Homo-oligomer: A and B are copies of this chain.
Amino acid sequence: MFGDWLKAQAAAAPERPALVSARGERWSYAALDAAVEQTATRLSGLGLAPGDILATLLPASPQHVFIVHAAARLGLALAPLNTRLTSAELALQLQKLGCRVLVGLPDARQTGLASGSLDLLSPAGLADLPGAAFTPPAFDLARLQGIIFTSGTAGASKGVKLTFANHFWSAQGSAARIGILPTDTWLSPLPLYHVGGLANLFRCALAGAALQLCDPDPQALQAGLADGASLVSLVPTMLKRLLALPDLETPRLRLVLLGGAAATPDLLAEAAHRGLRVAATYGLTEAASQVATIDPDSPAQLAKPGCVGRPLLNTRLRIVGEDGADLPPGSPGEVLVQSPTVMPGYYADPEASQRALQSGWLHTGDLGYLDSEGCLWLLQRRSDLIVSGGENIYPAEIEAVLAAHPAVAEACVVGLPDPEWGQHPAALVVLQPGLSVSAAELLTFARQTLAGYKLPKSIHFVPALPQTASGKIARRQAQELLARLEAGQNV
């Protein structure tokens, strides 16, 4: 009875604002529900059965929102693919999913995806479908809502399964920490193929609030805030650009939820100076977004720049050492998470699931510590992860592409601090004996496979990669070396 969250809101509050597009079009809950019903009817004619996977390759448009809700209504698991990926990256994900239908904007990449087993459908094509009547399957909170990939290529590619329960408890935890009212408008410049954007969609639907889609550029954000947004999700890069604007009007803004990457104390201080209340958050796709978030009503927590606050309601954290033993407050170790928001596992990857979910705890791979008040400080995202402008980049993926060039023997990719993006990828490359390639040629080669944001900002050739005593690549040393190389220092 209370499974279709959107339908329930449309019955309870049909006139309330539900959705605002980046162009300012508005849908009430009744109008959104009608659009979703129409979309579901059209999708229903495609012959997909409850439990089947529907993939999308779309920006965070109203049509994409319709499809998210329509998939839920039809019992389909939604796999929203990252629109910044290359054709090769997308093909791998679609293959892994065994997916029959992809709804995406027509472009050159998609043409490369067409195959006998995949229906490619544009939103316009979807609108032309005759559709078919359908009976929504019985709802169960434990049902799969969708699959979000954490990475693009085969090696690192893991599809995070998220259930409706994951989203539901995530929304509950978020509401208890930062609050949400049915009168709120949540400005969301995040894609729906990232858990942050998707979580905003479900939080609003569950609270009866309005989701306002927005391009991530500062002018669009400024316009959305001036338009009366009361909540906004930003990554540090966006906040920084927004604060660079001279006239920032935020007539109804209650809170900036700042996630995706660590914010510098300077940025937080500048935001506070400009009158913005900012709650830094630490989240993971594997935990359906927020895990810990600053309590925006706690002056003590707001006075801890770099801290991401206490775990959300119903979420528990442990910090463990390399031996798996719990560490006392102040001691850094791996962050483990237990929560009704934690994924049931990775799609079709029992081994990775087992590694990630040992004895009921999500092993994040991220390093941090709890302070004496139970607040989390994150020292480093999982050692191999680069976060650039809110996008997660997995070095292994880039390394594999670089190493695929005939002239490359070995590559090591690390993240370097970036004033604009938080981090950017940089590469050390060892050439095959007697062969040669230029950095520019190597980048052109990588561009065929890798999304633009994953391309190393600099490639430096070295005779050998720095190694640890045990023969592993010494990533920390590689990082220091690349930092000096980028700064133009002699090494």
Q: Which residues of A contact B (CB under 8 A)?
A: 1-2, 8-9, 11-16, 169, 173, 175-183, 206-208, 295, 297-298, 300, 310-316, 338, 340, 374
Contacts and interface: CB of A to CB of B under 8 A. Distances in A.
B1 A311 contact: no
Given A15-B298, A176-B206, A179-B181, 4 more contacts: A2-B313, A9-B176, A12-B177, A14-B374
Contacts of A177: 12-13, 182, 208
B169 A176 contact: no
Contact of A176 (B12, B300, B310, B316): B12
Interface centre among A173, A297, A313 (most CB of B within 10 A): A313
Contacts of A300: 15
Interface centre among A12, A14, A169, A312 (most CB of B within 10 A): A12
B175 A2 contact: no
Nearest to A178: B182
A338 B1 CA distance: 10
A315 B314 CA distance: 26
Per CB-CB distance, the 6 closest pairs between chain A and chain B, nearest first, are A179-B181, A2-B314, A12-B313, A176-B208, A179-B182, A8-B314
A1 B314 CA distance: 7
Nearest to A168: B172
A9 B181 contact: no
Given A1-B338, A181-B179, A183-B179, A313 B15 contact: no
Given A208-B176, A297-B183, A310 B15 contact: no
Interface centre among A15, A179, A300 (most CB of B within 10 A): A179
13 contacts: A1-B316, A2-B169, A8-B314, A12-B311, A12-B312, A12-B315, A13-B313, A177-B208, A179-B181, A179-B183, A181-B181, A182-B297, A183-B297
A173 B1 CA distance: 14
A297 B16 contact: yes
A8 B315 CA distance: 9
A370 to B, nearest CB: 12
A310 B13 contact: yes
Contacts of A340: 1-2
Nearest to A3: B314
A8 B1 CA distance: 27
Contacts of A314: 1-2, 8, 12
Given A1-B338, A314-B1, A175 B12 contact: no
A442 B265 CA distance: 77
Contacts of A12: 173, 176-177, 310-315
Contacts of A176: 9, 12-13, 182, 206-208
Interface centre among A9, A11, A169, A340 (most CB of B within 10 A): A11
B313 A208 contact: yes
B313 A8 contact: yes
B181 A295 contact: no
A128 B11 CA distance: 52
Interface centre among A9, A178, A314 (most CB of B within 10 A): A314
Contacts of A297: 16, 182-183
A257 B113 CA distance: 56
B298 A207 contact: no
A146 to B, nearest CB: 23
Nearest to A300: B15
A9 to B, nearest CB: 7
A481 to B, nearest CB: 43
A209 to B, nearest CB: 9
Contacts of A13: 176-177, 295, 310, 313
Contacts of A179: 181-183
B313 A9 contact: yes
Contacts of A169: 2
A443 to B, nearest CB: 46
A178 to B, nearest CB: 8
Nearest to A175: B207
Nearest to A292: B12
A176 B208 CA distance: 6
Contacts of A310: 11-13
Nearest to A298: B15
